[in-house]
Structure formats: structure tokens, C-alpha cells
Amino acid sequence: MFVRWQHCTTFADESHTTRDKASYQHGKQVLQFLLFLFLLCRGCEAGRCVPNLNGNRSYNPASLTKGGGVFDSRQAIRVETRNVCCKNENKTFLRKNMKKIAIQGIEGSFHDIAAHRYFVAEPLKMLCCDTFEEVAARMRDDRDVIGLMAIENTIAGSLLGNYEVLRASGASVVGEYKLHIRHSIMCLPEDDRDDISEVNSHPVALMQCRGFLSRHPAFKIVEHADTAGAARDIAASRNRGHAALCHAAAAGLYGLKVLKDGIEDNKHNFTRFLVLADPMQADALRDRNRANKSSLVFTLPHTSGSLSHVLSIFDFYRINLTKIQSLPIIGREWEYLFYADVTYDDPVRYHQSVEAVRPLTSQLKVLGEYLEAATPDLTDNDL
């Protein structure tokens, strides 16, 4: 009886041992998985992951072998943990440091090109808008949004409507950029010049290429809301026989073929863009110590010599008036808003001149103080 009981006990012990081994293996797997999750979280929290702006950091497991070249799976877990952390932290770093830029137009437009050249090598999130009023609305809705707006062209002149958009927006001018405007004619890869029957582009671009277009009277000219938008639509619709006038960069973006570059009538074609920001964010985007240009808007009494007196004060303080533009005040006949750009080399004299002018005006507002942009060199191949 004792022997049977001992035999039964031994069988039971072996059965328990088998189940214990299975439970042990299962528990070990669970612990390894929990260890992986712990290392993943701990690695990120400890700050061991260094952000990489390129987002392409990789590790070679072969470099982690020890002694006889046996690969250690625990090291692989650490490597994978750090790699995942770096990727996640890169995305977070980029999101936090990415500037949001509102422009009129789409990718490949002159506004898009100017924005990327002004904020060179910086990560940007482009907010493409249909109108300049929408650009201002984006800035009102989000104080972190920066606006970029064309204000004048050396051939087409001032964009008068944008002066009112600027004034009404309440934004501050924190910078400017002068872009050399080059136009190209482009079409689908399977088309050639003899196949072109219609040319699409923005009215200003068409006007700036009148000489080229006049030499091709068979072209039907159709206006489009945006230069790059014309290229995008031709590519998307596969419009055979259609061509777009825009910057050559749009061809690469939308898979088109450039038939001819530099078709603008006047090579001295520049557009000046203003960089706009919420007044509370302005100082973070400009260096006041380097500012040498200012944009002002003021109104004057409807009396003889009122504008002359203002200009005389700027002359007395040796302030250079680089531009003045008048626009009518709606609802007040024969009264005008004056938009002026001035440059200076002495900030003290500049501020003294503004305070001296203020009593002579009905209203005066400084739209922004910033660093004057250099005019690009026409010999620069990147233009």
C-alpha cells in the first residue's frame, strides 16, 4: 500500500514538474516582453535619444557582437528601443520647431519659393491659401502662424489690395525677401512646342511674358488663379496641348517638361515679399538691434502742405524714404492713407523722426521694423 502511494506521488510530482516548466517558459516570455516595454519607455524618459533632423538614424546589429561574434539579442532590444525612441523624438522635435507659414498659392508657387529661401534650412509646414485674406485669417486663428505676402513687383507695381489686408490684419512686419522672378513654359512630357494650343497662368505672369506670347499668336491665353496651380492642374488632368507659365521648380514637383526657361520680357523682374507675424511673436522672429528699415501707415489732415511737412522732417533727420503709396480712405472723399517705407542707419534718429512726425498726422502706426533685404544678383544661377 505504501509503495502504491509512493508511486502515485512520484507520478503526480512529474506531472506538476511538466506544468511548472511550461508555466516557467510562458512567464519568461511575458517578462521579456514587459522588459522590452520597460526599456522602451525608460529609454525615452531618460533622454538617451538625440533628435536627428534627418530622421534616418540606423544601427547595424553586426556591430554589437561580442568576443566570438555571437549576436546578443538583449543588445538588439536596446538598439531597437533607442531607434524607435529616436524616430518618435525626431517627430516630436520637428513638430515643436516647425514653423507654420501661410501663403497665397500652392507648393511650387513664388510665395512657396520665397518662404523656403527666407527660412532657409528650417523645417516648414506650409499652409496654402486661395487668397491673401485667407492668409490673414489663418494668422488670426493661430498666433503661431507666420504670413508671407507679396507687396510689390518691379514691373507690375504695388499690390494695392495687400496694403489694406496688411493694415486690417494687425500683424507686424518682421522681415522681407526680394525674389528674382523667372518664368518658364512647361507641358506634359509627351508634348512638344508644336503641340501647344493653350497657355494657362496667373494674369500677372501672362503680362510679364507678353513678348514671348506675342511671338506665338496661335496660343490661346487662359488666366488661372495661381502660376503653380496651372501646372498642377495640367498634370492632374493630363491636358494634352496645354502649357503653364510658372517657375521651373513646378515642373519637377508636378512631373512636367520645361520647354523654355527665362521667357519673361524683363530680366530685372523682382517681387518683394513681407514676412508677417502676430505682434506678440514678432520679437522672436527678428533682431531689433539689426533693424534698419521700417514700414509706416499714416493719415494727414486735408490741408495744404501736410505731406510736404512730413517729408521735410524725414529729410531733416536723414531718413531715406524708399517708397510711398497712397490709398483712398473709403467713406471719406479725397482723404488718403499713406504707406511709407523708410531706411535708416541710426535707430535713435529714426525714432526721433517718427515722434516728430506724429503730431502732424491724424493717425500714425508703425507696421514693423526689420532688416532690409538685399536685392539678389542677376548672375546667381539659383535664381
Question: In sequence order, what DSSP letters do the residues of 136-156 get, joined into one string?
Answer: HHHHHH-TTEEEEEEEEETTT
The residue among 107 and 156 whose pLDDT is bigger is 107
Question: Which set of grid coordinates corresponds to residue 325?
Answer: 503709396
For cell 513678348, the residue is: 211
What is the mean pLDDT of the segment spanning 100-125?
A: 95
> Is the pLDDT confidence value at 77 over 90?
no
Residue 49 pLDDT: 36
- Confidence grade of residue 97 (pLDDT, cut at 50, 70, 90): confident
Element (H, E) at 58: none
Question: 183, 370, 192, 345: which is closest to 294 by C-alpha?
Answer: 370
Label residue 335 by pLDDT band (50, 70, 90). confident
Phi-psi region of 200 (alpha: psi -120 to 50; beta: other; left: phi over 0): beta
Question: What's the residue count for the chain?
Answer: 383
For residue 377, is pLDDT > 70?
yes
Rounded to whole angstroms, how far apart are CA atoms 293 and 236? 43
163-210: pLDDT as tens digits: 999 999 999 999 999 999 999 999 999 999 999 999 999 999 999 999
In the chain the domains, ranked by start, together with CATH numbers, are 97-179+273-285 (3.40.190.10), 184-261 (3.40.190.10), 287-374 (3.30.70.260)
Q: What nine digits make up the cell of 305?
A: 502742405
- Range 101-123 average pLDDT: 95
pTM given for the model:
0.74
271-314 pLDDT, tens digit each? 999 999 999 999 999 998 999 999 999 999 988 899 999 999 99
Region 146-161: mean pLDDT is: 94
- Give 202-225 as a DSSP string: -HHHHHHTHHHHHT-TTPEEEE-S
Closest CA to 136 of 158, 107, 165: 165
Q: pLDDT at position 88, please?
A: 53
Per-residue pLDDT, 2: 41
**Residue pLDDT, tens place only, 204-256:** 999 999 999 999 999 999 999 999 999 999 999 999 999 999 999 999 999 99
Q: What is the mean pLDDT of the chain?
A: 82
Percent above pLDDT 70 for the chain:
74
- Span 142-170, average pLDDT: 95
